[in-house]
């Protein structure tokens, strides 16, 4: 089994002990800065558009960053983001499963607790120009195993009524087996996570806090990466110079208009050097109660030399958000 492809099938405590000789398990590994950074990168990639096939050249890093991220999601009670991450991880697993042969899929199924038997069968499927074509099905899964995972799925392919059932088995081809194992992987992760305890390491706690911030942003529907380039440019400039009052107004009025979360505005005020940590919370909460401020129009922004935009900043952000949501539903 390829550990890098299927880190969810690896018990991190046993792996740490046998592979690295670490008896403290995740409590020790949670203090490793590079693992925590990789877990955070994994989180952001999943939320921004999906996980690549390779996140790290190291199998160890892959396994531990996977489980540290999930434990951070559990520790932060991030229900919304946990669902998003599970979707991204299962989608990545499915891509790998599609590349496996049937024998390898059967081996993975055994780890997941799905009994797969090689029982080839063919039955009449289509009539084309008077000729009957048959549909070959390569494997069979006991009905109870199939229902354990398929009953939780919304996929039409995994409805029992849409499958061939005979003698207590559900017969399927490789493509449908991949779908079933993807759903089994989701449940396997969830059940395993329930039995695990989150580390209390201070380095790990920083990851938990980052997860909480992202949970607040994601649940609100706010997406920082969709901010107009004009506003992102102003924010970036704050790291090199002091912003003008007009630039500060543009940023804060936009964030107020689109309902950016208090936690995000608070963090941004500190990062831009506009307020201390103590002051930022007060300012951010005050802005959240105000909706009367609107950013300058593009003509005004151009004339003041702030930025060169072509569309109202609020409408530009909202159009980008609608486009992103449209792609998500496609």
Q: What is the 3 state secondary structure string of the chain?
A: CCCCCCHHHCCHHHHHHHHHCCCCCHHHHCCCHHHHHHHHHHHHHHHHCCCCCCCCCCHHHHHHHHHHHHHHHHHCCCHHHHHHHHHHHHHHHHHHHHCCCHHHHHHHHHHHCCCCEEEEEEEEEEEECCEEEEEEEEEEEEHHHHHHHHCCCCCHHHCHHHCEEECCEEEECHHHHHHHHHHHHHHHHHHHHHCCCCCCCHHHHHHHHHHHHHHHHHHHCCCHHHCCHHHHHHHHHCCCCCCCHHHHHHHHHHHHHCCCCHHHHHHHHHHCCCCCHHHHHHHHHHHHCCCCCCCCCHHHHHHCCCCCCCCCHHHHHHHHHHHHHHHHHC
Let me know whether 226 and 150 are in one domain. no
Let me know whether 266 and 298 are in one domain. yes
Let me know whether 122 and 257 are in one domain. no
Let me know whether 71 and 200 are in one domain. yes
Let me know whether 160 and 36 are in one domain. no
- The pLDDT score that the predictor gives to residue 327 is 56
pTM of the shown model: 0.68
- The pLDDT score that the predictor gives to residue 36 is 92
- The pLDDT score that the predictor gives to residue 97 is 96
Let me know whether 237 and 323 are in one domain. yes
Question: Per the domain annotation, does 186 fall within a domain?
Answer: no
- The pLDDT score that the predictor gives to residue 178 is 96
Let me know whether 142 and 246 are in one domain. no
Let me know whether 63 and 195 are in one domain. yes
Q: Structurally, how many domains does the chain consist of?
A: 3
Question: Per the domain annotation, does 1 fall within a domain?
Answer: no
Let me know whether 176 and 132 are in one domain. yes
Let me know whether 51 and 195 are in one domain. yes
Domain that holds residue 150: 100-181
Residue partners of 43: CB distance under 8 A and separation at least 6: 69, 81, 85, 210, 211, 214
One digit per residue, pLDDT tens: the chain, 330 residues?
Answer: 788 999 999 988 888 888 777 766 678 888 889 999 999 999 988 887 778 888 888 898 999 999 999 999 999 988 878 888 998 999 999 999 999 999 999 999 999 999 999 988 887 666 666 676 777 899 999 999 999 999 888 788 899 998 999 999 999 999 999 999 999 999 999 999 998 988 888 999 999 998 888 877 666 678 888 899 999 999 999 989 999 999 999 999 999 888 888 888 999 999 999 999 889 999 998 888 876 677 888 888 988 999 888 878 988 888 888 777 655 444
Question: Per the domain annotation, does 215 fall within a domain?
Answer: no
Let me know whether 83 and 201 are in one domain. yes
- Tokens (6 digits) for 186: 């989701």
Let me know whether 80 and 67 are in one domain. yes
């Amino acid at each position: 089994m390829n550990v890098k492809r299927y880190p969810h099938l690896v018990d991190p405590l046993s792996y740490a002990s046998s592979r690295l000789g670490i008896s403290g398990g995740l409590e020790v590994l949670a203090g490793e800065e590079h693992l925590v950074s990789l877990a955070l990168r994994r989180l952001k990639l999943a939320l921004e558009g999906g996980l690549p096939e390779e996140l790290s050249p190291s199998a160890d890093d892959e396994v531990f960053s996977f489980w540290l991220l999930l434990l951070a999601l559990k520790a932060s009670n991030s229900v919304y983001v946990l669902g998003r991450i599970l979707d991204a991880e299962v989608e990545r697993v499915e891509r790998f499963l599609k590349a496996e042969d049937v024998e390898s899929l059967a081996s993975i199924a055994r780890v997941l607790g799905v009994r797969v038997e090689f029982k080839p069968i063919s039955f009449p499927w289509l009539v084309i120009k008077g000729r009957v074509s048959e549909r070959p099905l390569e494997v069979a899964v006991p009905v109870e195993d199939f229902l354990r995972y398929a009953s939780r799925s919304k996929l039409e392919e995994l409805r029992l009524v849409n499958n061939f059932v005979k003698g207590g088995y559900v017969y399927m081809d490789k493509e449908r087996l991949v779908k079933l194992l993807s759903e089994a992987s989701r449940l396997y992760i969830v059940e395993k996570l329930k039995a695990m305890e989150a580390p209390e390491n201070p380095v790990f706690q920083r990851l938990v806090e980052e997860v909480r911030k992202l949970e607040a942003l994601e649940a609100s529907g706010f997406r920082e990466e969709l901010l107009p380039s004009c506003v992102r440019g102003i924010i970036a400039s704050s790291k090199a110079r002091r912003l003008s009052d007009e630039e500060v107004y543009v940023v804060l009025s936009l964030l107020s208009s689109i309902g950016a979360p208090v936690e995000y505005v608070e963090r941004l005020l500190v990062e831009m050097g506009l307020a201390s940590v103590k002051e930022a919370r007060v300012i951010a909460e005050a802005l959240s109660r105000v909706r009367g401020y609107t950013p300058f129009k593009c003509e005004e922004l151009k004339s003041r030399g702030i930025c060169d935009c072509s569309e109202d900043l609020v409408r530009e952000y909202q159009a980008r958000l609608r486009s992103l949501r449209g792609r998500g539903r496609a």
